[in-house]
């Protein structure tokens, strides 16, 4: 094997994992494809391995069609398949906490990680420090651009500003595609519960929309951005306002649909108060002075987060050079194709950084 070919192990073949395999398939026989070799690909039902390289398109079909089984792939299995030589990269396209918890081990073993999953860097501070420590100790890289904004240049911009000597003063953003859509649509004519059902049917929310409405996903996103901005805060230090009333939180999963109407009255009142002032409701995450909070806000025209549309993410960053007028980044912040592209951007960067480091050694 050429020393410049990176070996890849892919975990997860859901929306994002399959899009990664499709993109790798399109690259076969091109200069980009020649730089990468897929040696392992797995979901919870099937693990495929070939040191000479798997065909991404065929792997996608086999993984998608694999029957339910107890033969779950293991992280150790993927590490073994990557071998011990050359540039090795684990790609995490799961939403699995166990996989996320093992990334520091992987990085300590000299394997780079590219992940779309927020559970590694967006949960406990100890886990984030273990990842950072393993990277520093072994010179490995942790690619996380797919975790927030599905690859929108958010983490990149924050890191480049800091590398250029700026301090990050504040970050504020609409970071959930589903909640962005809901509050862009919510004008008082249609009850909020009806919009939630519509969003769920279009695939904008999780199957149980309470997961989006709880704000927990946004908590992880602002934590990842805050840590990249130099604020080492822990998960419990983010103050999150859940939109789910206690009664709705308590109902069984199968009864959620009927109980969604519990959202209508309180949110109609919030909308009326905002509209009276000519403002709109947005679900916003903010980091300022090292403190983070996530909540429903009433934003007036002129606010940097007021615009946008559809499921777009919109994030404003204030720093030394963007002191009065923030840098505003807006665009599709979810979707399998953009997320897969961001994961593979990370893979290509990790490969070139590793080769540059090896050359300099």
Q: Considering the complex, what minimum distance in angstroms separates the CB of residue 11 from ligand NAP?
A: 4
Question: Pick from 79, 88, 99, 204: which binds ligand NAP (CB under 6 A)?
Answer: 99
Does 90 participate in binding ligand NAP (rule CB under 6 A)?
no
Question: Pick from 8, 16, 114, 260: which binds ligand NAP (CB under 6 A)?
Answer: 16
Residue among 5 and 95 whose Cβ is closer to ligand NAP = 95
* Alpha carbons 338 and 358: distance in angstroms, whole number: 30
Structure tokens at 52: 């000479």
* Alpha carbons 68 and 213: distance in angstroms, whole number: 31
Does 121 participate in binding ligand NAP (rule CB under 6 A)?
no
Q: Considering the complex, what minimum distance in angstroms separates the CB of residue 144 from ligand NAP?
A: 10
**Active-site residues: which are they?**
221
Q: Considering the complex, what minimum distance in angstroms separates the CB of residue 309 from ligand NAP?
A: 18
Stretch that binds ligand NAP, among 89-97, 168-176, 178-186, 301-309 (CB under 6 A): 89-97
Residue among 336 and 354 whose Cβ is closer to ligand NAP = 336
**Residues of span 331-350 touching ligand NAP by CB under 6 A:** 334-336, 339
Residue nearest to ligand NAP (CB): 14
Helix axes 154-163, 216-228, angle to 10 degrees: 20
Produce one character per residue of 176-205: b if its CB has 16 or more CB atoms within 10 Å, e if not.
Answer: bbbbbbbbbbbeeeebbbebbeebbeeebb
Question: Pick from 8, 38, 48, 73: which binds ligand NAP (CB under 6 A)?
Answer: 73
Question: What is the helix (H) or strand (E) element at residue 340, kind and residue range?
Answer: helix 336-360
Phi and psi of 306, rounded to 5°? -70, -35
Structure tokens at 50: 């070939």
* C-alpha gyration radius of the chain: 21
Q: Considering the complex, what minimum distance in angstroms separates the CB of residue 191 from ligand NAP?
A: 27
Question: Pick from 11, 172, 244, 256: which binds ligand NAP (CB under 6 A)?
Answer: 11
Cβ neighbours around 305 below 10 Å, total? 21
Does 199 participate in binding ligand NAP (rule CB under 6 A)?
no
**Residues of span 137-166 touching ligand NAP by CB under 6 A:** 146, 150
Residue among 123 and 298 whose Cβ is closer to ligand NAP = 123
Residue among 40 and 186 whose Cβ is closer to ligand NAP = 40
Closest residue by Cα to residue 280 from 261, 307, 260: 307
Phi and psi of 324, rounded to 5°? -100, -45
Does 175 participate in binding ligand NAP (rule CB under 6 A)?
no
- For 63, what's the count of Cα atoms within 13 Å in the CB-facing half-sphere? 30
SS3 280: strand
* Alpha carbons 53 and 17: distance in angstroms, whole number: 17
Stretch that binds ligand NAP, among 37-45, 80-88, 161-169, 244-252 (CB under 6 A): 37-45
Question: Pick from 4, 15, 32, 279: which binds ligand NAP (CB under 6 A)?
Answer: 15
Q: Taking a C-beta distance cutoff of 8 angstroms, is the pair 89, 111 a contact?
A: yes
Chain residues that interact with ligand NAP, rule: CB under 6 A = 11-17, 42-45, 73, 93-96, 98-99, 116-118, 146, 150, 334-336, 339
């Amino acid at each position: 094997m050429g020393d410049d070919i990176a070996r890849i192990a892919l975990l997860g073949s859901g929306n994002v994992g399959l899009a990664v395999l499709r993109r790798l398939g399109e690259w076969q026989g091109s200069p980009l494809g020649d730089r990468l070799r897929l040696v392992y690909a797995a979901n919870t039902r099937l693990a495929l391995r070939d040191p000479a390289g798997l065909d991404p398109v065929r792997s996608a079909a086999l993984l998608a069609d694999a029957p339910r089984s107890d033969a779950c792939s293991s992280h150790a299995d993927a590490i073994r398949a990557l071998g011990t030589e050359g540039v090795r990269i684990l790609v995490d396209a799961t939403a699995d906490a166990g996989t996320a918890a093992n990334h520091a081990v992987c990085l300590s073993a000299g394997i780079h990680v590219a992940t779309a999953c927020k559970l590694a860097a967006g949960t406990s501070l100890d886990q984030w420090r273990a990842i950072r420590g393993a990277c520093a100790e072994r010179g490995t890289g942790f690619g996380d651009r797919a975790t927030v904004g599905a690859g929108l240049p958010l983490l990149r911009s924050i890191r480049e500003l800091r590398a250029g000597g700026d301090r990050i003063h504040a970050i504020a953003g609409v970071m959930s595609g589903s909640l962005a859509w809901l509050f862009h649509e919510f004008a008082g004519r249609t009850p909020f519960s009806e919009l939630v059902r519509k969003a769920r049917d279009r695939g904008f929310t999780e199957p149980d929309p309470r997961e989006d409405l709880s704000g927990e996903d946004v908590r992880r996103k602002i934590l990842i951005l805050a840590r990249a901005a130099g604020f080492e805060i822990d998960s419990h230090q983010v103050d999150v306002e859940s939109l789910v009333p206690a009664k709705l939180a308590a109902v069984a999963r199968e009864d959620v649909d009927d109980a969604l109407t519990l959202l209508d009255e309180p949110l109609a009142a919030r909308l009326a108060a905002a509209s009276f002032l000519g403002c709109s409701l947005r679900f916003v995450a903010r980091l300022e002075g090292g403190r983070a909070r996530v909540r429903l806000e009433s934003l007036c025209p002129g606010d940097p987060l007021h615009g946008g549309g559809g499921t777009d993410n919109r994030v404003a960053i204030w720093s030394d050079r963007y002191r009065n007028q923030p840098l505003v980044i807006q665009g599709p912040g979810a979707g399998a194709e953009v997320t897969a592209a961001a994961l593979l951007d990370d893979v290509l960067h990790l490969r070139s950084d590793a080769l540059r480091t090896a050359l300099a050694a």
